[in-house]
Structure 1
Amino acid sequence: MNETRLMERLRALGFTTYESKAYITLLKNNPSTRYELSKNSGVPRSAIYDVIKKLENMGAVNALYTSPEKYVPLPPEQLLELLERQFKERIEEARSALKHFDTQIEPGHLWNIVGYRNMLHKAREMISRAEKIIFLSVWDRECKRLKEDLDAARQRGVRIIVFSFTPLNLEGEEIYSYNIPEKELLNIWERKIILVVDHVQLLMGEADDRYTKKTAWTDNKAIVDIATNHIILDITLYGIRMKEDVSHSVVAMQQGAFENLDKLIEKYKKRQIEPIF
């Protein structure tokens, strides 16, 4: 991983740009004095004292008893364990402080999930809470990033039905794919994702990691049903085009409601074809 991306990862963990530069420089050159650290990292000498102090308070660096003082970094694995413990403690403190607020989410509301990472986080959360069945329309890139969560769901007995136009590296009997390479498909379509969990939750929208796009999450039954029917149509057309029996998946997705509808259609279809005379 290049240094720029590594700095981005550290900033996502709460480091400032200067703190990221100082810590990475110490990993490469240690022990170092403040002067050496400023020179090698590009952190201004006027700022290096405060930067080192914050890293010390965080536990990311440690001072040696030398003159002048030299600093060494906490090894990366130990740093991540430290940050994880600190983060869990802060979560518990926040949970304790907020537990007195009982704010109910309005049923049927449509929530915007902003950004690609947040979309993946929400998808993983939904998959991890699935109890019976998952329907998913997805491209290979997003499927790869959700594969571990989908495998875990399957192992605990959740039925998974997946449709895609692209090849998928996913195990299961109910995987329907046209195996069209993503590069070719991108010439005519944008990446999208539809995820339905247990017939009651839906995540749907563009899956674009280049821009800050919005996806929608809802438990509105009408919208969930519409999205489910969209995947049903794609799988049904797949079955017709590929001459493959997909009825077992389609029936499972219809949740039994269409059985009664089929009876009504048959009843009134017969009436329509009865002779007038």
Structure 2
Amino acid sequence: MIKTDEIIENLEKIGFGKKEAEVFLELVKNPGTNGSQIAKNLGYQRTTVYQNLDILQKKGYISSYLDKEITLYKTMNLKEILENYNKEINGATKFLKDELSKVEVSGTQKQFYNLNSFEEIKDRFKNILKRAKKIVYINTNLNLFEYEKELKKLREKDVRIIVFSFNKIDYSSLGIEAYIRESFNFNITDSEKRIMIAADSSVAMIASNYEGEFCGTYSENKLLVNTVTEHIKNDIHLMKLEESLGRSINRIITLDF
């Protein structure tokens, strides 16, 4: 029996994105397949599949050829792929071990990293969840049931999960602290999608699809971590204040010149 989940997980460990791994495995099982067939088998949009086929081909993991004017794909020699990867990793490990020890560290300021795709943002979001040890603050209007597996593991480790959202989604089955500001209950299809997360006062990420394209920033910089944490805390505080007053707080400021 093919251990599909374990194969995907191990492909991710050697640098494949999740969808890259799924497309690659589909080609291992069904060589000489076109993009439309792969999309149908995996249940993904064709544009998503073709994007990942292009990535895999550029990396040298698959090749394409024409058959009656239809582009078909197949994997390269699997043994050679893994042997070459192993050589590259060993070489890179030796080089980094030697060279990084020579690098002089100037200060302790943490860097900011740009995230330029939704897949990259989701992968980083999962990574933050997996690393959390004490507490996680989340502000998002995305459906968190997609991350049920990661959230369950956090609960098992007694990590406190605090979520604020403008979308009315029942998260009671996830066992997390959810605060829904219903007075601003936007529909996710009509509003800007966004993710804000901070964990353990050590790492944070902000991201959105502003103007239709997803982009974000990830950092262990304390300023960003504290800013995101306080922003989410303030959202929750404002919501509780509205509930205590029994009305929405909308303050309009006019300036007279």
Normalised to the residue count of structure 2, the TM-score between the two structures is: 0.59
Q: From the superposition, tell whether residues 173 and 214 of structure 1 become closer, same or farther in structure 2 (CA, over 3 Å).
A: closer
How far the C-alpha of 1:127 sits from its partner, in A, is 1.4
**How many angstroms apart in 2 are the aligned matches of 1:194 and 1:168?**
17
**How many angstroms apart in 1 are the aligned matches of 2:54 and 2:181?**
40
Match of 2:53 in 1: 10
**How many angstroms apart in 2 are the aligned matches of 1:149 and 1:137?**
16
**How many angstroms apart in 2 are the aligned matches of 1:88 and 1:242?**
58
**How many angstroms apart in 2 are the aligned matches of 1:85 and 1:179?**
55
Paired residues for 1:1-277 under 5 Å: 1-2=39-40, 5-14=48-57, 22=65, 38-39=67-68, 41-42=70-71, 55=75, 57-59=76-78, 90-91=88-89, 93-102=91-100, 106-141=108-143, 143-168=144-169, 170=171, 171-178=174-181, 184=187, 187=190, 189-207=191-209, 210-211=212-213, 213-243=214-244
> Which deviations, in whole Å up to 9, do the C-alpha atoms of 1:23-64 show, x marking residues without a partner?
xxxxxxxxxxxxxx6326357xxxxxxx98xx5x5249xxxx
Report if aligned partners of 2:167, 2:181 keep a CA contact under 8 Å in 1.
Answer: yes
**How many angstroms apart in 1 are the aligned matches of 2:128 and 2:89?**
21
Question: Gaps (5+ residues) in structure 1?
Answer: 23-36, 44-50, 61-81, 245-277
**How many angstroms apart in 2 are the aligned matches of 1:173 and 1:59?**
43
Percent same amino acid at aligned positions?
A: 21
More helix by share: 1
* Counterpart amino acid of residue 159 in structure 1: R
Rg comparison, structure with higher value:
1
Q: From the superposition, tell whether residues 183 and 83 of structure 1 become closer, same or farther in structure 2 (CA, over 3 Å).
A: farther
> Which deviations, in whole Å up to 9, do the C-alpha atoms of 1:64-87 show, x marking residues without a partner?
xxxxxxxxxxxxxxxxxx978975
How far the C-alpha of 1:94 sits from its partner, in A, is 3.1
Q: From the superposition, tell whether residues 114 and 9 of structure 1 become closer, same or farther in structure 2 (CA, over 3 Å).
A: closer
Q: CA RMSD in A?
A: 3.9
Report if aligned partners of 1:176, 1:235 keep a CA contact under 8 Å in 2.
Answer: yes
* Counterpart amino acid of residue 160 in structure 2: R
**How many angstroms apart in 2 are the aligned matches of 1:40 and 1:192?**
41
Q: How many residues align?
A: 195
> Which deviations, in whole Å up to 9, do the C-alpha atoms of 1:143-187 show, x marking residues without a partner?
244332222222222111111111345412411124689863554
Question: Gaps (5+ residues) in structure 2?
Answer: 1-38, 41-45, 246-257
Q: From the superposition, tell whether residues 112 and 160 of structure 1 become closer, same or farther in structure 2 (CA, over 3 Å).
A: same
**How many angstroms apart in 2 are the aligned matches of 1:168 and 1:92?**
47
